[in-house]
């Protein structure tokens, strides 16, 4: 029902509506005017007729009065007839005592419709009057007037009014139509432009050339702006559409090319698409899988127990969130084979957040999981021997310590240190050393095979063996057997035969132990003692053993050193290295570390450094020295001397040392070329590769190295080629007494000559007599250092 009015309301144009409304309005006004003016007009016509009748009567009376007074009756009749004929008088009658006559004239022919006269309802007026002069009545004159002329007059007026109204209406309509056409021209142009735009011509615009009303002109402008905007939007949409197509193609190629398998489902979890990788992994083609549930195509099982696993996609669709799969999940392919996978399922949402479908991405995890297993294995294994590494052993020890502390269990830890292993390395090289370690590891592993014991390589030629749930005697039996077997072992390499010993330190874990450091320290202490007595010995840690007590004392230094650090009781000293060549004017110093005892006495490094080095504190010293000395250089720009800093063997093997030093240098502004580091020959050789990398890394910033205690090692010369040091610091043992010991003199001379031959400068240390100095000068040594020339002194700190 409501559509019909709506259709009617849209059927007629705006022009037709306005014209229609104006037509109805004007017509209504015409009718109203006709009603308002017509009724009084009718009354006026009637009144006019009545007055006319009176006037005619008066006129006729005037015309006949003289005749009446003269009693000229023919003249009276003639005058009445003449008057009645001339005027619109239907009848005129004169009655006197002597005469009575009446004259009638035919009414005017009606030129108006009868209905109009009926509507107008105008009555023919009558009038009569008695002629009395001087009290004497001469007679009565009566007339009836013809209403037709008045009706005709009103009819003519009505016709003229109607014609005028119609003319006005037509004029108004034509004028309005013209006006509308002119003013709606802009609107029609808008319609044309809108249709053109609708048909796809986005360049369609409305011309603003001809004048329009402000509203239409503003609408045109708004339309043109809208069209511009739409054009830009469409252009942007087309551009984005093209980009989307490219993107879609790229995504399609990507999805088909990527190594990940992709499954796309609808919101109900029914598969819509599999990419090639998914087809490969599931064994289903995309077409076959389409419309199936994910669980049919991708049946998931637990890797460990083979139980079915709930699919993540169903969960993702239910929860409307991304869901990852348990890492121990596999799929059972169509051919029955299983495949480890990892996958992620995510819902595909529309802009309003409604779930439109889901996507499941999964990868073949077989290789990665295998690799992870290998990495996990390698993480706790020593790569050379395949045994547990130090970290794994520490983990086992921690677990064992925890067990001891909470359960009545017994654990024995044995520290194994090969004797004379370095001889193999030095004489046959690292390959031989590595081969030796592998053989010995195999022997040791074989002895613990099948037992609940853990064997680990702790580093270098050191091993650890943890006996689980084993009493000390039983463990010692095993250890002795191990020692004996190693003692019997013969290692052959390049026609060389080596017999090795082994030192073993044993300790039993007990609940009073605080950490694994204590376990390691006790075993190490025992092993140290075993080695110190000649090797191939087994020493069980006893707290009251004198020798172990001494070693234990060293360990006390660890605590003392820690306290000293906290109390800032370490101090930097320096000792000058005097250049013997007058060409060298720059002062050279070696930075030395001193510990200030709690009583203020200065303690030389000979007392605390061995313990520090043995218990791994040396790198901390090194870093403390570097940090504080660099700060000194930065705050004392007036000090332009060159300085050498000692680096321990541990720092050399620490891969973070180079980065630490460079970072520290980066914080200050002094010239790094004023800095050199001294490393002992033995430390350098023990960590030859790391030392070489460190020297090369720091040389890039102009920092030089000196090989300290040169000559003390057993194969110094052989390593000189690999160590790009700038200085050789001849060990003081050779310098002291060289003036009267020809052998020392010859060695010093040989080392100095060798150094110079290799382009390195030489430094003789511990020069304490003038004779020694004279020898060195005579030899041409570059720098000399010793109490004779300069005693260590604190850095001139403010």
Partner 1 sequence: MRKIWACLALVLGTACHAAPQTPFAFGVLNHRSLQATAAYWNPILNYVSARSGVPLELHIGRTANETTDRVVAGQLDFAYTNHLFTPKRDRLGWRVLARQDSEGIRGQVVVLDSSPVRTLQELAGKTVAFANPYGFTGYYVPMDDLLRAGIEVAPLFCGNQEAAMGQLLSGEAAAAGVNHQVMASFAQRRQMKYRVLAESEPYFDLAVMASPRVSPADGEKVRQAFVGMSREPEGQRVLRLAAQSLELTKARGFVAADDRDYRNYRSFFSQTRVPVNE
* Chain positions contacting partner 1, by CB under 8 A: 65-66, 69-71, 133-136
- If the CB atoms of residues 46 and 140 are measured against partner 1, the closer one turns out to be 140
Dmax (CA) for the chain in angstroms is 209
The set of residues, in sequence order, having a beta carbon less than 8 Å from that of 102 and lying 6+ positions away, is 91, 92, 93, 94
Return d(Cα 234, Cα 429) in angstroms, integer.
Answer: 76
- If the CB atoms of residues 134 and 200 are measured against partner 1, the closer one turns out to be 134
Q: Give the shortest CB-136-to-partner 1 separation in angstroms.
A: 4
Return d(Cα 641, Cα 796) in angstroms, integer.
Answer: 12
The three-state secondary structure class of 788 is coil
Residue 89 near residue 146, CB atoms below 8 Å: yes
The set of residues, in sequence order, having a beta carbon less than 8 Å from that of 349 and lying 6+ positions away, is 320, 355, 356
Q: Give the shortest CB-99-to-partner 1 separation in angstroms.
A: 14
Q: Give the shortest CB-83-to-partner 1 separation in angstroms.
A: 19
C-beta neighbour count of 729 within 10 angstroms? 28
With vertex at residue 556, the alpha carbon angle to CA 554 and CA 562, rounded to the nearest 5 degrees, is: 115
Return d(Cα 465, Cα 445) in angstroms, integer.
Answer: 10
CA dihedral sign of residues 360, 363, 364, 368: negative
Q: Give the shortest CB-66-to-partner 1 separation in angstroms.
A: 5
- If the CB atoms of residues 68 and 465 are measured against partner 1, the closer one turns out to be 68
- If the CB atoms of residues 71 and 232 are measured against partner 1, the closer one turns out to be 71
Q: Which helix (H) or strand (E) holds 665?
A: helix 657-667
- If the CB atoms of residues 70 and 746 are measured against partner 1, the closer one turns out to be 70
- If the CB atoms of residues 95 and 584 are measured against partner 1, the closer one turns out to be 95
Three-state SS across 708-740?
Answer: EEECCCCCHHHHHCCCCCCEEEECHHHHCCCCC
- If the CB atoms of residues 69 and 251 are measured against partner 1, the closer one turns out to be 69
List b or e across 258-273, with b for residues whose CB sees 16 or more CB atoms inside 10 angstroms: eebbbbbbeeebebeb
Question: Strands 727-730, 704-710: parallel, antiparallel or unpaired by DSSP?
Answer: parallel
Residue 600 near residue 553, CB atoms below 8 Å: no
Give the start-end residues of each E strand in 366-461. Answer: 411-419, 454-459
The three-state secondary structure class of 502 is strand
- If the CB atoms of residues 71 and 791 are measured against partner 1, the closer one turns out to be 71
Q: Give the shortest CB-165-to-partner 1 separation in angstroms.
A: 52
Q: Which residue pairs, CB below 8 angstroms and at least 24 apart, start in 86-91?
A: 87/56, 87/59, 87/145, 88/52, 88/145, 88/146, 88/148, 88/149, 89/56, 89/60, 89/143, 89/144, 89/145, 89/146, 90/124, 90/144, 90/145, 90/146, 91/143, 91/144
Q: Give the shortest CB-141-to-partner 1 separation in angstroms.
A: 16
C-beta neighbour count of 698 within 10 angstroms? 21
Q: Give the shortest CB-63-to-partner 1 separation in angstroms.
A: 13
Q: Give the shortest CB-27-to-partner 1 separation in angstroms.
A: 58
The three-state secondary structure class of 259 is coil
Residue 761 near residue 728, CB atoms below 8 Å: yes
Alpha helices in 199-338 (DSSP H): 214-257, 276-282, 286-289, 294-297, 312-319
Q: Give the shortest CB-72-to-partner 1 separation in angstroms.
A: 9
Q: Give the shortest CB-117-to-partner 1 separation in angstroms.
A: 41
Residue 425 near residue 432, CB atoms below 8 Å: yes
Nearest one of 643, 642, 677 to 658, comparing CA atoms: 677
Q: Give the shortest CB-95-to-partner 1 separation in angstroms.
A: 17
- If the CB atoms of residues 75 and 547 are measured against partner 1, the closer one turns out to be 75
- If the CB atoms of residues 51 and 95 are measured against partner 1, the closer one turns out to be 95
- If the CB atoms of residues 140 and 224 are measured against partner 1, the closer one turns out to be 140
Q: Give the shortest CB-97-to-partner 1 separation in angstroms.
A: 9
Q: Which helix (H) or strand (E) holds 534?
A: none
- If the CB atoms of residues 96 and 522 are measured against partner 1, the closer one turns out to be 96
Return d(Cα 353, Cα 54) in angstroms, integer.
Answer: 99
Q: Give the shortest CB-51-to-partner 1 separation in angstroms.
A: 24
Return d(Cα 617, Cα 275) in angstroms, integer.
Answer: 58
Q: Give the shortest CB-132-to-partner 1 separation in angstroms.
A: 9
Q: Give the shortest CB-71-to-partner 1 separation in angstroms.
A: 6
Return d(Cα 775, Cα 752) in angstroms, integer.
Answer: 12
- If the CB atoms of residues 134 and 336 are measured against partner 1, the closer one turns out to be 134
- If the CB atoms of residues 136 and 585 are measured against partner 1, the closer one turns out to be 136
Cα 437 from chain centroid (whole Å): 50
- If the CB atoms of residues 68 and 730 are measured against partner 1, the closer one turns out to be 68
Residue 395 near residue 380, CB atoms below 8 Å: yes
Return d(Cα 269, Cα 253) in angstroms, integer.
Answer: 24
- If the CB atoms of residues 66 and 280 are measured against partner 1, the closer one turns out to be 66
- If the CB atoms of residues 136 and 514 are measured against partner 1, the closer one turns out to be 136
Q: Give the shortest CB-89-to-partner 1 separation in angstroms.
A: 24
Return d(Cα 54, Cα 77) in angstroms, integer.
Answer: 19
- If the CB atoms of residues 64 and 416 are measured against partner 1, the closer one turns out to be 64
Q: Give the shortest CB-98-to-partner 1 separation in angstroms.
A: 10
Cα 684 from chain centroid (whole Å): 47
């Amino acid at each position: 029902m409501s559509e019909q009015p709506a259709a009617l309301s849209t059927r007629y144009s705006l022009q037709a509506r306005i014209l229609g409304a104006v037509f109805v309005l004007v017509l209504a006004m015409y009718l109203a005017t006709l009603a308002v003016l017509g009724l009084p007009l009718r009354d006026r016509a009637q009144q006019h007729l009545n007055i006319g009748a009176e006037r005619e009567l008066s006129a006729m009376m005037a015309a006949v009065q003289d005749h009446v007074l003269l009693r000229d009756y023919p003249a009276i009749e003639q005058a009445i007839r003449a008057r009645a004929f001339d005027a619109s008088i239907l009848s005129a009658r004169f009655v006197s005592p002597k005469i009575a006559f009446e004259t009638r004239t035919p009414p005017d022919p009606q030129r108006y419709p009868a209905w109009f006269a009926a509507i107008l309802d105008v009555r023919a007026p009558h009038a009569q009057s008695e002629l009395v002069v001087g009290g004497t009545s001469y007679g009565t004159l009566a007339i009836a007037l013809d209403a037709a002329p008045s009706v005709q007059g009103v009819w003519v007026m009505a016709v003229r009014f109607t014609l005028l109204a119609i003319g006005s209406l037509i004029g108004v309509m034509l004028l309005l139509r013209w006006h509308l056409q002119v003013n709606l021209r802009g609107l029609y142009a808008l319609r044309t432009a809108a249709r053109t735009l609708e048909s796809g011509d986005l360049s369609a615009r409305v011309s603003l050339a001809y004048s329009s009303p402000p509203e239409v002109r503003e609408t045109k402008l708004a339309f043109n702006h809208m069209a511009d905007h739409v054009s830009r939007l469409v252009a942007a949409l087309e551009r984005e559409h093209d980009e989307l197509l490219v993107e879609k193609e790229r995504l399609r190629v990507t999805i088909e090319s990527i190594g990940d398998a992709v499954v796309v489902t609808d919101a109900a979890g029914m598969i819509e698409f599999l990419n090639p990788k998914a087809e490969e992994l599931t064994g289903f083609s995309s077409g076959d899988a389409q419309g199936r549930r994910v669980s049919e195509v991708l049946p998931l099982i637990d890797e460990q127990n083979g139980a079915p696993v709930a699919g993540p996609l169903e969960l993702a669709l239910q929860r409307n969130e991304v869901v990852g799969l348990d890492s121990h999940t596999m799929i059972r392919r169509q051919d029955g084979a299983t495949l480890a996978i990892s996958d992620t399922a995510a819902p595909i949402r529309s802009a309003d957040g409604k779930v439109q479908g889901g996507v499941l991405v999964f990868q073949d995890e077989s290789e990665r999981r295998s690799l992870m297993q290998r990495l996990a294995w390698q993480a706790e294994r020593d790569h050379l021997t395949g045994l547990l590494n130090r970290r794994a052993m520490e983990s086992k020890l921690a677990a064992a310590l925890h067990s001891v502390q909470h359960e009545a269990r017994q654990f024995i830890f044995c520290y194994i240190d090969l004797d004379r292993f370095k001889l193999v390395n030095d004489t046959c090289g690292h390959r031989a050393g590595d081969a030796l370690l592998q053989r010995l590891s195999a022997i040791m592993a074989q002895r613990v095979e099948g037992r609940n014991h853990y064997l680990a390589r702790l580093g270098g030629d050191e091993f650890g063996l943890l006996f689980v749930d084993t009493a000390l005697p039983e463990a010692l039996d095993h250890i002795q057997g191990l020692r004996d077997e190693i003692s019997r072992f013969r290692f052959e390499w390049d026609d060389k035969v080596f017999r090795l010993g082994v030192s073993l330190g044993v300790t039993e874990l007990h609940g009073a132990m605080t950490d694994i450091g204590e376990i390691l320290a006790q075993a190490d202490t025992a092993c140290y003692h075993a080695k110190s007595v000649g090797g191939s010995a087994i020493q069980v840690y006893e707290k009251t053993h004198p020798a172990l007590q001494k070693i234990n004392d060293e360990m006390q230094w660890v605590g003392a050193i820690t306290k000293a650090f906290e109390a800032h009781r370490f101090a930097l000293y320096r000792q000058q290295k005097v250049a013997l060549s007058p060409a060298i004017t720059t002062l050279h110093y070696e930075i030395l570390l001193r510990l200030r005892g709690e009583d203020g006495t200065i303690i030389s490094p000979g007392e605390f450094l061995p313990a520090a080095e043995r218990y791994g504190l040396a790198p901390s010293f090194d870093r403390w020295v570097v940090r504080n000395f660099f700060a000194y250089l930065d705050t004392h720009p007036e000090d332009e001397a060159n300085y050498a800093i000692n680096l321990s063997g541990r720092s050399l093997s620490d891969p973070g040392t180079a980065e630490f030093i460079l970072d520290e240098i980066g914080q200050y502004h002094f010239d790094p070329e004023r800095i050199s580091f001294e490393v002992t020959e033995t430390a350098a050789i023990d960590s030859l590769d790391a030392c070489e990398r460190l020297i090369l890394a720091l040389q890039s910033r102009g920092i030089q190295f000196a090989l300290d205690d040169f000559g003390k090692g057993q194969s110094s010369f052989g390593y000189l080629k690999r160590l790009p040091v700038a200085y050789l610091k001849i060990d003081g043992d050779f310098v002291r007494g060289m003036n009267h010991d020809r052998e020392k003199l010859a060695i010093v001379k040989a080392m100095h000559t060798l150094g110079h031959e290799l382009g390195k400068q030489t430094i003789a240390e511990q020069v304490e007599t003038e004779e020694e100095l004279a020898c060195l000068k005579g030899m041409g040594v570059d720098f000399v250092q010793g109490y004779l020339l300069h005693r260590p002194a604190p850095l001139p700190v403010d």
